[in-house]
Amino acid sequence: MTAEIFFYLAAGAAAGGFINGLAGFGTALFALGFFLTVMPPVQAVAIVLALSVASGLQGVWIVRKAVWDNPRRLMRFLLPALFGIPLGVLILTIIDARTLKLVIAGFLILYGGYFSLRRALPRFERPTPIADMLIGFTGGVLGGAASLSGALPTMWCSMRPWPKAETRAVLQPYNVIVLLIAAILLAFKGAYTRETLLFFLAALPVTMVSAQIGITVFKRLADEDFRRLLIALTFVSGSILLIREIL
């Protein structure tokens, strides 16, 4: 491993780990730009998926009580997503992934930009089990088709006036499990070569430490501040995705 590869690997691992620890999603959006500079796409995605799962488990642990307090809410999102993932993989053979990513980037930018400028945040207080399942299913489809499983659930959960731990108790396990399935599918395709595993092991300590720093910041945020952070990050994520796809 050259010094240049290690620099980009460590920078991506730090950025992705911190944002995962802070918000419970976003590792791929913030890390892939660094990884793709020095490695092919399949290898970069394989490493990002593994790092997302590893760092995400730390986030799941800190909200474990909120997960167990309301497991049915998480299942409303997660179970439909499991059926959406293979459909997304199938759709990928029909629809151009780049076009799909550009459309999602547009939605993220419009949503995040609009609500970031508003003083009052959107509030859906009544239970919406059907909408939750549809969002979860669609997130699974987008995960299978474009590795963007967290986009819609993040937008939807940021509109719910839940405490930050309850919001994260949906987003973090959802993303960890969906991305774990994606990593397993890549493993069956032979993506985790010896070199890829060595790169992953080199990046793992950086990601884990950075995620802990992000978790520390998360613990200091008020519930309303966390909602605003999620909305702002949807705008940033959409912008990064748009720039990456255009370039």
Q: What is the pLDDT of residues 77-103, one digit of tens each?
A: 999 999 988 888 777 667 766 776 787
Q: Are 171 and 153 in contact (CB under 8 A)?
A: yes
Q: Are 51 and 16 in contact (CB under 8 A)?
A: yes
> Which residue reads 């918000």 in tokens?
23
Q: Among the listed ranges 7-16, 118-127, 215-224, which one has the minimum average pLDDT value?
A: 118-127
Q: Among the listed ranges 109-123, 126-140, 210-224, which one has the minimum average pLDDT value?
A: 109-123
Across the chain, what does the average pLDDT equal? Answer: 85
User: pLDDT-based confidence at 146, cuts 50/70/90?
Assistant: low
Write down the pLDDT at residue 86.
85
Beta strands in 114-180, from DSSP E residues, in sequence order: none
Q: In angstroms, how far is the first alpha carbon of the chain from the final one?
A: 26
Separation between Cα atoms, residue 95 and residue 92, nearest integer Å: 5
Asked whether the predicted pLDDT for residue 157 surpasses 70, the reply is: yes
> Which residue reads 């199938």 in tokens?
90
For range 168-192, the mean pLDDT: 88
Q: Which residues contact 162 (CB under 8 A, 6 or more apart)?
A: 223
Write down the pLDDT at residue 162.
85
Structure tokens at 36: 């793709």
User: pLDDT-based confidence at 156, cuts 50/70/90?
Assistant: confident
User: pLDDT-based confidence at 213, cuts 50/70/90?
Assistant: very high
User: pLDDT digit string (tens) for 22-50?
Assistant: 888 878 878 887 888 888 888 888 898 89
Buried b (16+ CB within 10 A) or exposed e, 51-72: bbbbbbebbbebbeebbeeeee
Asked whether the predicted pLDDT for residue 205 surpasses 80, the reply is: yes
Higher-scoring residue by pLDDT: 69, 32 = 69
Structure tokens at 29: 């959006």
- State the maximum Cα–Cα separation within the chain, in Å, rounded to a whole number: 54
Asked whether the predicted pLDDT for residue 108 surpasses 70, the reply is: yes
Separation between Cα atoms, residue 209 and residue 120, nearest integer Å: 35
Q: Are 230 and 23 in contact (CB under 8 A)?
A: yes
Separation between Cα atoms, residue 96 and residue 5, nearest integer Å: 30
Write down the pLDDT at residue 122.
64
